[in-house]
Amino acid sequence: MDSPSSSPYRAAAELRAALRAYERKAEIAARANGLTPRRYDLLLMVAATENATVTKLMDRLQLGQAAVSELVQRGIDRGLLERRPSPVDRRETLLQVSELGKQKLDATLASLHGEQLLPIIPPDHAGPSLSR
């Protein structure tokens, strides 16, 4: 058996610890700006996803349809998100961050300014998504 300090274990542990530390800081910043961690994740993914739909958000958030639909509806009810019809497919509804949602998202991100993400995923990464 490999020792606990062998590189595959160490690398995986270091990555997981760094991701969790950043996630915890983001949770604290979100709450300080009036967002739950899930709502912060939702706003961030909607803002970063071109033509955001519930289906796209399911993949990005790694949540099921019912959970994402409920999260989206609560975001709309709180004035953080807005629905708009797709200009291409009238059966589809697109989501966008409202002005209030943008203010809260910007404030949360400003709270995190200076936090360094590990350079493990290039900013333009568009690789395959994780599946549940």
Q: Which of 10-14, 32-36, 46-50, 96-100 has the lowest mean pLDDT?
A: 10-14
For the packed helices 37-48 and 99-112, what is the interaxial angle rounded to 10 degrees?
110
H helical segments located in the chain? 7-32, 37-48, 54-61, 65-77, 99-112
pLDDT at 7: 79
Task: Retrieve residue 26's tokens.
Answer: 């983001």
For residue range 47-105, list pLDDT tens digits in order. Answer: 999 999 999 999 999 999 999 999 999 999 999 999 999 999 888 999 999 999 999 99
- The angle subtended at Cα 35 by Cα 30 and Cα 38, nearest 5°, is 85
Of 50, 15, 31, 45, which Cα lies nearest the Cα of 112? Answer: 31
Residue ranges of domains in the chain, CATH in brackets: 36-111 (1.10.10.10)
The more confident residue out of 114 and 92 is 92
pLDDT at 123 over 60: no
The more confident residue out of 115 and 90 is 90
pTM: 0.78
pLDDT at 73: 98
Task: Retrieve residue 131's tokens.
Answer: 């599946």
pLDDT at 108: 93
